[in-house]
C-alpha cells in the first residue's frame, strides 16, 4: 500500500514557503510516510530546471531525489525513498455563458518532456513566469484540449471542486454541472479532487459525481503541510499504475481526509454578527442575516446542498473507504494544552517520529500501547479518539475558522501550560441564537429591498425601451438642419440609431438615400449591427452608407471610377525622405508628414489661390517641399489619406461627378460632430447642399481633437451657416452614478467660458454610488502597482488567499468581471507602466489605440509586403524593370484600397533594402508565390506566426505586439484594413497571444470617448500630465479639461483617480461631498495573520 499526495506547490507559487524545494519535500515526505509526491508547478521554467537538475528517473514515469541532494536526518527511521510524479495546477479565469469563471485544474504528467511541451504552448497564451500556479484567461475546455493533444497520457483532474472562489462547483465563480464546463470533452474527465473543504460523504450526495473517482490531496504550500489529505494506492509503483488508479479506481484503495468543518467557509453565516447557520437556516431566512439585515455569506455545505439530489447520510455504492485525520502536532497540542507550534509540542513531535516512525503510520496504524509508552496516555487517548471519530466539530463560517476538539476544557483542567490551541478559537456557545423577531425583521427588510430592486429594474427597462421627451423630439424632428447637443451618457447613440430607424420605418426613406458618418470604424460597425438587429432587416443595414469620413470618401471615389493607389505609411515615409533630401527642408519625415496633414486638414492656413490649399509656411523651402511631395504623388497616381477627403471635395466643387451622386446624401447624419476638422466640415456642407436633411449630434464639452483642427465652437459655426438650424439638448444622464456626475460636472463647469451663458448641467438618473476616490501613491510605478492590486481585489482576488481576504475585508463589495474595468491614461508611456503591472499580476488585458510599435521598421516592413500581396492577384506578373513598374503604377484601382501600394519597388527598397533589378524581381516573385495562398487561407495570427518565424522576427518586440493585435481579426484583409484606416479604439492588442473577452481595457483618454465601463481608473491625474505640459507643444488648457471630463464620464459606478506628483489643478473643482482622498503611500495594511488552520494553504 502506498500513500500519495499529488497536489502541492513549489516556492515559485504565491504565498508558499521558501522551503518548498525538492530537498525539503523529500525530507517531509519521509517524515510523514508519503511514498508518492507531486512536484507541483511544472509550468514554471525555473522549477522545471531545478527538477531536471535534482531528480533522476526511477520507475516508469516516476522520479527520485538524487542522493547528493537528500537531507540526512538520523531521527527519521527506515529507508523509504519517496517518488516524485510531475504535476501542476493551472488557474483559469475567463468568461463563459455570461459569467466570470475561476477554476483550478490539477494536471498529472508522465515526465518532464511532456511538461516542457505543454509549458511552451501555455507560454504563448499567458504569463507562466511570475507564479508557479499560472493564471491564464483560458477556458477549461480549451485547456483540457491542449493537455490531451500534447500529452495523451496526462491525467486532468478539476481541483478542490467545492472551494467557493476557485473551483469547478465554486459558489462564486464555478459551474452547476461538469458538462457546462467541459462540454464535448466531458468524457475525458475521470476524477475529481474533493479538496479540504469537503469529504467523500458530502460528494456522495451528488449523483452526477458517481461516475468519477474521488481523490484527496493536501494542496500544501509548505512541506510541513504534506499529507493533510492524501490517497491510498494499491498499485504497481509506476506512472501507468498511478494513472489507472486515478482514472478507473483500479488500485485506488481510499483517501485520508481533512475534517471539512474546520474550513473557514464550511457553513453559512456572518462573522461580524458572530452568526453561524446551516443551509436550511439560510433558506429559512431567505439569505438575509436576521441580525444586521444584510446578505448572508454562504459556505461549501450550502453549495453542496444546492447541487445535491440525495439526503445527507447517503452512502454511495462501492464507495472507497476514507479516514479523517488531523496532523500529529495538533493532536499532541490538544492533548497537552499547548499550541501545536510551541517548542514543547515540536520537541515531542520529533521524538515520536524518531522512536515510532512516520507521522501517518503513527496516526493510522501504530498500536496505542507503543504510543503511550513514548508519549503518555493522553496523547495515545487523543489518537484513539481521532481514529474512532470521537471529536467535537465546530464548523467554520464566513472566514471564521472551525474547531476540531479532542478533549473538553474540563478534561484539560489539570494540564499545565497554555490553554489548548483549539480553545483559543471561539466556541460554538458564543454564537448568537436566532430570534423569531429578528427573523421577521429580516423578512420585512428583504421585501423592501426586493421592491426597490424591482422598481429600479422596471425603470431601467422602460428607459431602454423608450425615449425621453428630448430624445423623441430629436428623433422625430423634420427641420432641414438639426443639431443635437448630447452630453455623456444622455443616449447619443440610442438617439442616432432611433433617428435612422424612424427614417426607415415611419418616413419610409430609402436606405440608399441615407448616409451616417461615424468617428471610428468600430462605431460604424456597431451602428450597422444595431440597425439590423432592431429592424430585423439586414438589407437596410447594408444598403445604408455608414462609415468614417475616409471610408465614405474612398467608396465615393471608387464609384466615380477614379484610378489611384492609396499610399501606406511605408511609402509616405520613403517619399518624404526623398522630398526632404531634394529640397533641403529641415525636418524629419514624420514631422514633415504631420505638417502636410495639418495643412490639408485646414490648419495652419494662410490666404492662397492654390487650389490644393495654402502654403505650409512662408518658408520657400517648405513651399517647394510641399509642391514636390504633391507633384511626385500625381506622377505616380498616388493619394494619401488626407487626399481622400480633398479629392472628393475637389470633384464635387468642379462638377467632376457622375449624375445622381447626391442621392446617397439626401439624409445625412454626422456623429461626434464636435470633433470634425475644417476639411470634414467642408465635406458635410457639400454633401448636404442638395440634400433634404442634415442631422448632427455631439457635445461641445467633449471636443478633444483641437490638434487635428476640431473646435468646440463647431455648433456655433454651424448656426452661422444655417439660419434655420434647430438646436436640441439632451440633459438626462443614464450612465453615471450621481457622485461621479457631480464631480465631472464641477470639473467642466469650472471652465473659462468667458461671455458664454453658464452651461446647463446634466441630470442624473442612476442610483447613488460610491464617492470618487483620489488615491495618492509614492511614484508613477506605485500608481500602476496600486491599480493592478486594486483590480485584483475588485475581481475577487486572483489567488485563494487574496479571494478569502477580499471576501472578509470588503464583504459588501461587488465582485467585478475584468471586462467591467478600464484604465485610462494620458499618454502611451503611462499605459506601458500599467501594462507591465497587469502582466505581473497575471490580469488579462487589452490595449486599445494606435501605439508607437506600428511605426517601427520591422512592422512597416511587414505591412509593406502584406499590402503588395493584397494588391496583386495570383495571375498578375511583376514588372521586369523599374521603367515598366513606373508606367503601370496608375493601373491599380481604388477598389483594392485594403492594402494598395504603388508597386514592388517600394517593397524592395523598404523591406529588402535592394535597388530594383532582375534579382529583386525574382526574390519578390518567389516570396509572394509562397505567401499568397497562406495570406488568403490562414487566420492573421497563424499567418504572422509563420512570417515572423521565417523572417527571424519572433523576438522582435514590435512584431510581437502586432501578433497580439492580429487575434482580433478573422482575415488578413480585415486586419490590414484596420491597420491602414483604423483610428483610436478601432485598433486593439491583446495582452497575450490568446484573447479572452473578460479582459481589462487599457487605453488613452482620447481613445476612450464613446465608451463606458462600470469601473474606471484614470492614471496620473497630476500636474504635467493632466493637463499635459510639453515644452515643444504648449497644451490647450481648456481642451485638456474637456479631455479629463471625457475620462471621468466613462465611469458608470466607480471612478478612481490616481496621483503621485502634485495634484492636477482640475481636481480642485471636485466637491468634497462626493469624493474621498486615500494615501496608498502611507497606508500600512495590517497583516496580522492568525495562526493558519489545517484548512489553509
In-domain check, residue 755:
no
pLDDT for position 186: 96
Q: Extract the C-alpha cell encoding 953.
A: 522576427
899 is in an annotated binding site: no
Q: Are residues 883 and 1028 in the same domain?
A: no
SS3 270: strand
Our CA dihedral for 867, 873, 875, 877, rounded to 10 degrees, sits at -30
In-domain check, residue 1095: no
Q: Is 486 annotated as a binding residue?
A: yes
Does 513 reside within a domain? yes
Cell representation of residue 1065: 489643478
Q: Identify the CA nearest to 869 among candidates 911, 915, 913, 917.
A: 911
Q: How many residues does the chain have?
A: 1097
Domain that residue 1011 falls in? 763-850+996-1079
- Rounded distance, CA 303 to CA 56, Å? 43
Q: Is residue 960 part of a domain?
A: yes
The pairs formed by 73-81 with CB atoms below 8 angstroms and a separation of 24 or more are 73/27, 73/30, 73/31, 75/350, 75/353, 75/354, 76/27, 76/30, 76/31, 76/353, 76/354, 76/358, 77/353, 77/354, 77/357, 78/30, 78/357, 78/358, 80/30, 80/33, 80/35, 80/358, 81/30
Residue 491 annotated as part of some ligand binding site: yes
970's CB contacts (< 8 A; 6+ apart) are 939, 940
Half-sphere exposure of 786 (CA within 13 A, CB side): 26
Q: Which of 639, 667, 696 is the last residue of a domain?
A: 639
787 found inside a domain? yes
Are 19 and 133 in a shared domain? Answer: yes
How high is the pLDDT of residue 1063? 94
CA distances to 113, 334, 361, 377, 766 from 384, in Å: 46, 13, 13, 10, 63
> Which one-letter DSSP state was computed for residue 911?
I
Measured CA to CA in angstroms, residue 398 lies from 273, 275, 292, 773, 873 at distances of: 10, 9, 15, 28, 66
H-run or E-run covering 522 = helix 521-535
Q: Could you say which of 981, 1009, 1041 is where a domain stops?
A: 981
Domain holding 121: CATH number? Answer: 3.20.20.140
349: cell is 513531535
Are 359 and 407 part of one and the same domain? yes
Q: How far apart are CA 388 and CA 651, in angstroms?
A: 95
Crossing angle of the two packed helices 918-937 and 857-871, in degrees rounded to 10: 80
| Closest C-alpha among 490, 489, 445 to residue 471 | 490
Same domain for 404 and 544, yes or no, is: no
Residue 713: per-residue pLDDT: 83
E strand residue ranges, 182-288? 191-193, 213-215, 230-233, 252-258, 268-270, 275-277
Beta strand segments in 860-931, E: none
- Quick one: pLDDT at residue 183? 95
Same domain, residue pair 151 and 245: yes
> Residue 62 and residue 36: Cα distance in Å, rounded?
9
Assign residue 674 the CATH number of its domain: 3.40.50.300
Give the whole-angstrom CA distance, residue 681 versus residue 523. 19
CATH number of the domain at 586, please. Answer: 1.10.10
Rounded CA separation 53/557 (Å): 67
CA distance 336 to 333: 5
Q: Which parts of the chain have pLDDT scores under 70? A: 77, 413-465, 604-618, 752-759, 797-813, 873-916, 993-995, 1031-1034, 1082-1097
Find the DSSP H helices in 549-600: 549-559, 569-583, 589-600
Do 584 and 690 have their domain in common? no
* C-alpha pair distances (Å), 191 with each of 36, 91, 140, 258, 307: 18, 18, 15, 19, 18
pTM across the whole model = 0.73
d(CA 1063, CA 1056): 14
Query: Residue 1067, preceding bond cis, omega within 30 degrees?
Result: no
The answer to whether residue 1084 sits within a structural domain is no
CA distances from 454 to 384, 443, 447, 461, 767 (A): 57, 16, 10, 10, 13
Alpha-carbon distances, residue 49 vs 53, 54, 90 (angstroms): 6, 9, 19
If we measure between CA atoms, which residue out of 894, 893, 1039 comes closest to residue 550?
894
Give me the pLDDT at residue 442, please: 46
The residues near 123 (Cβ < 8 Å, ≥ 6 apart) are none
Provide the pLDDT for residue 541.
77
CA pair distance 163, 420, nearest whole angstrom? 28
**How far, CA to CA in Å, does 482 sit from each of 83, 692, 724, 934?**
79, 11, 9, 49
Q: Are strands 481-486 and 322-325 parallel, antiparallel or unpaired?
A: unpaired
Question: What confidence score (pLDDT) does residue 465 get?
Answer: 52
pLDDT of residue 886: 41
Q: Do 102 and 207 share a domain, yes or no? A: yes
Q: Based on the fold, state whether residues 172 and 219 are members of the same structural domain.
A: yes
Q: What is the pLDDT of residue 708?
A: 78
Same domain, 425 and 547: no
Phi, psi values for residue 736, rounded to 5°: -100, 150
DSSP secondary structure, 272-285, as one string: TTTEEE-HHHHHHT
Task: Provide the number of structural domains found in the chain.
Answer: 6
Contact 956, 858 (CB under 8 A): yes
Task: Report yes or no: 288 and 296 within 8 Å, Cβ to Cβ.
Answer: yes
| Contact in structure between 426 and 400 (CB atoms under 8 Å) | yes
Q: pLDDT value at position 590?
A: 84
Annotated binding-site residue? 488: yes
Residue 896 maps to a domain:
yes
Residue 411 burial (C-beta neighbours within 10 Å; 0-12, 13-18, 19+): middle
- Adjacent-strand bridge partners of 1054: 1015
Is 487 marked as binding a ligand? Answer: yes
Q: In the structure grid, which three cell numbers stand for residue 676, read together?
A: 470634425
- The DSSP letter of residue 1062 is S
Which is it for the CA torsion 529, 531, 532, 538, positive or negative? Answer: negative
Chain centroid to CA 97: 16
Angle 284-259-388 (CA atoms, 0-180°, nearest 5)? 115
Q: 608, 639, 670 — which closes off a domain?
A: 639
Q: Residue 718 in contact with residue 725, Cβ under 8 Å? A: yes
> Is 493 labeled as ligand-binding?
yes
> For position 571, what pLDDT does the model report?
77
Q: Residue holding cell 517648405?
A: 622
Residue 883: partners with Cβ closer than 8 Å, 6 or more residues away: none
974 with 1003, same domain: the answer is no
Residue-level pLDDT at 199:
92
Residue 560 sits in the same domain as residue 576: no
Nearest to 23 by CA among 87, 68, 86: 68
**Is residue 15 included in any domain, yes or no?**
yes
Q: 216-225: buried (b, 16+ CB within 10 Å) or exposed (e) per residue?
A: bbbbbbbbbb
Query: Helix %, strand %, coil % for the chain, to 5?
Result: 45, 15, 40
What pLDDT score does 440 carry?
46
Q: Give CA–CA dist 523/529, Å, rounded.
A: 10
> Has 706 been labeled as part of a binding site?
no
Please check whether residues 973 and 879 belong to one and the same domain.
yes
Amino acid at each position: 500500500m502506498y500513500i500519495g499526495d499529488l497536489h502541492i506547490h513549489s516556492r515559485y507559487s504565491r504565498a508558499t514557503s521558501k522551503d518548498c524545494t525538492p530537498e525539503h519535500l523529500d525530507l517531509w515526505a519521509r517524515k510523514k510516510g508519503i511514498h508518492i509526491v507531486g512536484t507541483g508547478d511544472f509550468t514554471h521554467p525555473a522549477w522545471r530546471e531545478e527538477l531536471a537538475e535534482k531528480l533522476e528517473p526511477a520507475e516508469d514515469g516516476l522520479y527520485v531525489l538524487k542522493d547528493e541532494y537528500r537531507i540526512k536526518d538520523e531521527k527519521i527511521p527506515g529507508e523509504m525513498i519517496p517518488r516524485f510524479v510531475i504535476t501542476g495546477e493551472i488557474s483559469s479565469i475567463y468568461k463563459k455563458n455570461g459569467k466570470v469563471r475561476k477554476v483550478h485544474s490539477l494536471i498529472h504528467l508522465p515526465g518532464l518532456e511532456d511538461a516542457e511541451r505543454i509549458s511552451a504552448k501555455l507560454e504563448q497564451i499567458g504569463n507562466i513566469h511570475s507564479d508557479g500556479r499560472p493564471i491564464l484567461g483560458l477556458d477549461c475546455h480549451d485547456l483540457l484540449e491542449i493537455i490531451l493533444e500534447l500529452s495523451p497520457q496526462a491525467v486532468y483532474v478539476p481541483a478542490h471542486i467545492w472551494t467557493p472562489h476557485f473551483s469547478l462547483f465554486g459558489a462564486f465563480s464555478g459551474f452547476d454541472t461538469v458538462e457546462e464546463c467541459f462540454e464535448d470533452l466531458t468524457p475525458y474527465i475521470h476524477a475529481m479532487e474533493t479538496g479540504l473543504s469537503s469529504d467523500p460523504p458530502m460528494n456522495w450526495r451528488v449523483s452526477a459525481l458517481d461516475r468519477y473517482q474521488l481523490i484527496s490531496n493536501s494542496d500544501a504550500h509548505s512541506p510541513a503541510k504534506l499529507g493533510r489529505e492524501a490517497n491510498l494506492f494499491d498499485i504497481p509503483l509506476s506512472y501507468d499504475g498511478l494513472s489507472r488508479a486515478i482514472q478507473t479506481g483500479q488500485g485506488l484503495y481510499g483517501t485520508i481526509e481533512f475534517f471539512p468543518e474546520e474550513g473557514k467557509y464550511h457553513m453559512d453565516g456572518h462573522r461580524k454578527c458572530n452568526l453561524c447557520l446551516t443551509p436550511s437556516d439560510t433558506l429559512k431566512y431567505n439569505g438575509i442575516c436576521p441580525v444586521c439585515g444584510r446578505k448572508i455569506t454562504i459556505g461549501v455545505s450550502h453549495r453542496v446542498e444546492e447541487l445535491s439530489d440525495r439526503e445527507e447520510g447517503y452512502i454511495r455504492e462501492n464507495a472507497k473507504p476514507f479516514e479523517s485525520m488531523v496532523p500529529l502536532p495538533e493532536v499532541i497540542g490538544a492533548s497537552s494544552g499547548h499550541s501545536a507550534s510551541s517548542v514543547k509540542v515540536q520537541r515531542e513531535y520529533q521524538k515520536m517520529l524518531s522512536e515510532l516512525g512516520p507521522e501517518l503510520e503513527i496516526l493510522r496504524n501504530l498500536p496505542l500501547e507503543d504510543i503511550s509508552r513514548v508519549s503518555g496516555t493522553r496523547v495515545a487517548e487523543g489518537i484513539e479518539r481521532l481514529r474512532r471519530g470521537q471529536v467535537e466539530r465546530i464548523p467554520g463560517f464566513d472566514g471564521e475558522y472551525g474547531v476540531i476538539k479532542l478533549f473538553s476544557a474540563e478534561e484539560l483542567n489539570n494540564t499545565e501550560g497554555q490553554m489548548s490551541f483549539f480553545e483559543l478559537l471561539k466556541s460554538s456557545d458564543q454564537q448568537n441564537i436566532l430570534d423569531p423577531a429578528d427573523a421577521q425583521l429580516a423578512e420585512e427588510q428583504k421585501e423592501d429591498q426586493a421592491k426597490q430592486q424591482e422598481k429600479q429594474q422596471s425603470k431601467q427597462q422602460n428607459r431602454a425601451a423608450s425615449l425621453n421627451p428630448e430624445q423623441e423630439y430629436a428623433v422625430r424632428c423634420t427641420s432641414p438642419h438639426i443639431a443635437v447637443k448630447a452630453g455623456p451618457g444622455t443616449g447619443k447613440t440610442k438617439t442616432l440609431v432611433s433617428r435612422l430607424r424612424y427614417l426607415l420605418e415611419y418616413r419610409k426613406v430609402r436606405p440608399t438615400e441615407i448616409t451616417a458618418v461615424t468617428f471610428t470604424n468600430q462605431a460604424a460597425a456597431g451602428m450597422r449591427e444595431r440597425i439590423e438587429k432592431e429592424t430585423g432587416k439586414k438589407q437596410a443595414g447594408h444598403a445604408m452608407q455608414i462609415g468614417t469620413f475616409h471610408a465614405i470618401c474612398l467608396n465615393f471615389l471608387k464609384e466615380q471610377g477614379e484610378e489611384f493607389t492609396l499610399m501606406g505609411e511605408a511609402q509616405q515615409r520613403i517619399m518624404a525622405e526623398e522630398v526632404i533630401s531634394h529640397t533641403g527642408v529641415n525636418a524629419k519625415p514624420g514631422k514633415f508628414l504631420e505638417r502636410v496633414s495639418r495643412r490639408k486638414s485646414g490648419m495652419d492656413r494662410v490666404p492662397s489661390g492654390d487650389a490644393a490649399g495654402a502654403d505650409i509656411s512662408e518658408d520657400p523651402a517648405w513651399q517647394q517641399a510641399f509642391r514636390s511631395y504633391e507633384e511626385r504623388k500625381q506622377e505616380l497616381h498616388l493619394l494619401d489619406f488626407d487626399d481622400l477627403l480633398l479629392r472628393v471635395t475637389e470633384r464635387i466643387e468642379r462638377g467632376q461627378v457622375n449624375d445622381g451622386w447626391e442621392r446617397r446624401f439626401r439624409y445625412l447624419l454626422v456623429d461626434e460632430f464636435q470633433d470634425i476638422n475644417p476639411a470634414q466640415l467642408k465635406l458635410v456642407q457639400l454633401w448636404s447642399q442638395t440634400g433634404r436633411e442634415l442631422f448632427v449630434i455631439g457635445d461641445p464639452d467633449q471636443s478633444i481633437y483641437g490638434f487635428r483642427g476640431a473646435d468646440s465652437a463647431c455648433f456655433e459655426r454651424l448656426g452661422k451657416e444655417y439660419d434655420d438650424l434647430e438646436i436640441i439638448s439632451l440633459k438626462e444622464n443614464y450612465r453615471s452614478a450621481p457622485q461621479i456626475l457631480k464631480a465631472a460636472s464641477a470639473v467642466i463647469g469650472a471652465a473659462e467660458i468667458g461671455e458664454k451663458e453658464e452651461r446647463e448641467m446634466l441630470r442624473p438618473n442612476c442610483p447613488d454610488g460610491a464617492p470618487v476616490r483620489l488615491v495618492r501613491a509614492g511614484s508613477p510605478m506605485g500608481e500602476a502597482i496600486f491599480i493592478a492590486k486594486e483590480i485584483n481585489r475588485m475581481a475577487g482576488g486572483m489567488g485563494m488567499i487574496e479571494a478569502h481576504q477580499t471576501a472578509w475585508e470588503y464583504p459588501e463589495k461587488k465582485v467585478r468581471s475584468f471586462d467591467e474595468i478600464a484604465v485610462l491614461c494620458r499618454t502611451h508611456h503611462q499605459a506601458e507602466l500599467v501594462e507591465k503591472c497587469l502582466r505581473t499580476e497575471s490580469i488579462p488585458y487589452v490595449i486599445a489605440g494606435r501605439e508607437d510599435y506600428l511605426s517601427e521598421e520591422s512592422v512597416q516592413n511587414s505591412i509593406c509586403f502584406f499590402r503588395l500581396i493584397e494588391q496583386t492577384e495570383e495571375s498578375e506578373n511583376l514588372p521586369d524593370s523599374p521603367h515598366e513598374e513606373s508606367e503601370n503604377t496608375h493601373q491599380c484601382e481604388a477598389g483594392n484600397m485594403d492594402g494598395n501600394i504603388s508597386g514592388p519597388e517600394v517593397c524592395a527598397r523598404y523591406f529588402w533594402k535592394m535597388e530594383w533589378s532582375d534579382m529583386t524581381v525574382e526574390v519578390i516573385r518567389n516570396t509572394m508565390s509562397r505567401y499568397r495562398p497562406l495570406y488568403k487561407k490562414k487566420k492573421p495570427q497563424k499567418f504572422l506566426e509563420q512570417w515572423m518565424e521565417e523572417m527571424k522576427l519572433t523576438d522582435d518586440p514590435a512584431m510581437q505586439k502586432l501578433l497580439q493585435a492580429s487575434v482580433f481579426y478573422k482575415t488578413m484583409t480585415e486586419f490590414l484594413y484596420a491597420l491602414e484606416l483604423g483610428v483610436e479604439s478601432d485598433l486593439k492588442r491583446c495582452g497575450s497571444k490568446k484573447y479572452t473577452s473578460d479582459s481589462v481595457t487599457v487605453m488613452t483618454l482620447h481613445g476612450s470617448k464613446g465608451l463606458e465601463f462600470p469601473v474606471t481608473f484614470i492614471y496620473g491625474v497630476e500636474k504635467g500630465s493632466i493637463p499635459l505640459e510639453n515644452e515643444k507643444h504648449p497644451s490647450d488648457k481648456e481642451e485638456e479639461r474637456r479631455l479629463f471630463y471625457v475620462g471621468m464620464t466613462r465611469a458608470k459606478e466607480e471612478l478612481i483617480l490616481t496621483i503621485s506628483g502634485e495634484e492636477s489643478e482640475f481636481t480642485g473643482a471636485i466637491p468634497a461631498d462626493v469624493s474621498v482622498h486615500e494615501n496608498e503611500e502611507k497606508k500600512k495594511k495590517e497583516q496580522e495573520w492568525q495562526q493558519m488552520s489545517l484548512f489553509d494553504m
